[in-house]
Amino acid sequence: MKRTTRLLLKSFLGPFVITFLVALFFLDMQFLWVYADELIGKGLAVHVVLELLLYASARLVNLALPLAILMSSIMTLGSLAEHHELTALKSSGMRLGRIMRPLVVAMCFVAGGALLFANHAWPVANLKFRTLLYSVTRKKPTLNLENGVFYNGIEGYAIRAGEVVNETGALDNVLIHHHGGGRDGAGLVIKAKRGTMRTSPAGRFLVLDLEEGASHEERLEPGVRQRDRTYPHLRTQFDAQRIRIDLSSLDFSKADEALFKRAYEMMSLGQLAGAIDSLEAERTQLATSLRAFGHRSMNKPVHNAGPVFPLDTSAVHADWLARLGPSADRRVHDAARDMLRNAIQTARNQADDRRSKRALSDRHAIEWHRKLFLSSACILLFLIGAPLGAIIRKGGLGLPTVLAILLFVLYYIITIMGERMVRSGALSPAWGMWMGTMIMLPAAFLLNLRAAREFSWRPFSRSRSAG
């Protein structure tokens, strides 16, 4: 029995680890493809990119892990059936359920680990990823001048050169706009026929040595109207001039994690449950206040003439308005109309607040169910893949891989549809997030039933009875 357990676990562990790493690799490549524009040309350090990939990989475990379990279970049971190892186990009197028991127990441990990962490691990875990605997207591109193109990456500067020799740093026809670089914050324009460009030894400054040029400094005209301005400027020629430009705006700096720490993606199960309870309590309070506001608005006296709509309908007489004079009648009508208009607008605002609270509560609930969904998907997809592998009796990377990808894509599409229906308000979070599981669970039951029946079938029983 122990030998059988070791055989099954050894047969499953290898394909599982390989498929998990391969799936995670392809998902990481997709991530790099999506965010390539945000990473290229910014001179990021290698450790920053690797750190970003690490956090992205942690966020992609919810896709890679179920896919690896589905694919490896089909490959393992299919390979055992293809090489008649399942037949040998069956001949020893073992049922399919008994054979799969060690793998089911292993999947329970994997599902428990996935739940712990989703509850503790996932929020941290999301927080680190969002913070680092935000910092990367804010970083300006590295200094890279192109012929005839203005470079605006340095704060306060716009630099253009007609011709740039990157190997030597030589520049021709240099034009520099320094916003606020003149006196009293005025603009400064520098032109030069040629020059050289280099960075300081520490990379802190950009040093430009310009030759045969002139600087044009704008002169401010305080107190002069726009139409009366003449835009005077001071022109200064030079044979040689050195300019030092601070490059601190190009440095990479991480944003504060407190900017994203309160987002629902950064919460554990307990924190999400507390946030959902608070949001639901706020929705209930808004509903109570809305009813109270409606009661006060409809029963509020208008110019001491009684409520707009008295709750006691017996108090409404046909001559109620007739007893008022023309002036009072007009005032009552105007006041009632204004009150109703204000009441309608206030009711709409409170209704919008309730809808926004519900949407936010649903997003917290989606994230709460998503953490449980990861662990349940591990068990569900194993219960689909294992009997399917025993039925098709095919191992390797051919048919099992195709079937696994098709089933996983179907499962993923159904889950995404359910989540979108929750976000649109068509379904509750519980129904929407578990819609894929509820649809695929009967399929898992039927596959296990079919595999058990085929496994218990004895092809030689009929011939023996005939003899």
Mean pLDDT by 10 residues, the chain (467 residues): 78 89 90 78 76 89 90 86 77 77 89 91 88 75 74 80 81 84 69 86 80 81 64 79 78 67 83 87 78 63 48 49 60 72 78 82 89 89 88 75 86 90 87 90 88 61 40
In 122-260, which ranges are E strands? 157-165, 170-178, 188-199, 205-218, 233-246
Name the β-bridge partners of 308. none
CA-based angle 349:352:356, to the nearest 5?
140
Counted residue by residue, the chain has a size of 467
Q: Which helix (H) or strand (E) holds 252?
A: none
**Strand order in 157-165's β-sheet?**
157-165, 170-178, 188-199, 205-218, 233-246
pLDDT score at 4: 77
CA distances 339 to 219, 302, 316, 321, 345, Å, are 58, 9, 19, 18, 10
CA distances 267 to 110, 125, 244, 365, 415, Å, are 22, 11, 47, 11, 21
Q: What are the backbone dihedrals phi and psi of residue 172, each rounded to the nearest 5 degrees, phi first?
A: -130, 145
Q: Using CA atoms, how far apart are residues 69 and 349, in angstroms rounded to an integer?
A: 49
pLDDT score at 181: 57
Sign of the alpha-carbon torsion through 378, 379, 384, 388: positive
Q: Using CA atoms, how far apart are residues 28 and 40, in angstroms rounded to an integer?
A: 16
Collect all residues with Cβ–Cβ distance below 8 Å to 244 and sequence separation of at least 6.
200, 205, 206, 207, 208
Collect all residues with Cβ–Cβ distance below 8 Å to 64 and sequence separation of at least 6.
20, 23, 24, 27
pLDDT score at 395: 67
The 10 Å Cβ neighbour count of residue 310 is 14
pLDDT score at 109: 92
The 10 Å Cβ neighbour count of residue 387 is 26
> 66: closest CA among 464, 412, 447, 419?
412
- DSSP, collapsed to helix, strand or coil, labels residue 190 as strand
What global pTM score does this model have?
0.68
Q: Using CA atoms, how far apart are residues 390 and 95, in angstroms rounded to an integer?
A: 12
> 339: closest CA among 297, 301, 304, 309?
297
> 31: closest CA among 56, 50, 51?
56
Give, rounded to a whole angstrom, the gap between the first and last alpha carbons of the chain. 34
- DSSP, collapsed to helix, strand or coil, labels residue 139 as coil
pLDDT score at 90: 75
Q: Using CA atoms, how far apart are residues 16 and 380, in angstroms rounded to an integer?
A: 16
> 176: closest CA among 196, 199, 152?
152
CA distances 203 to 126, 143, 151, 167, 407, Å, are 33, 11, 18, 17, 53
Residue 129 in contact with residue 59, Cβ under 8 Å?
yes
pLDDT score at 466: 40
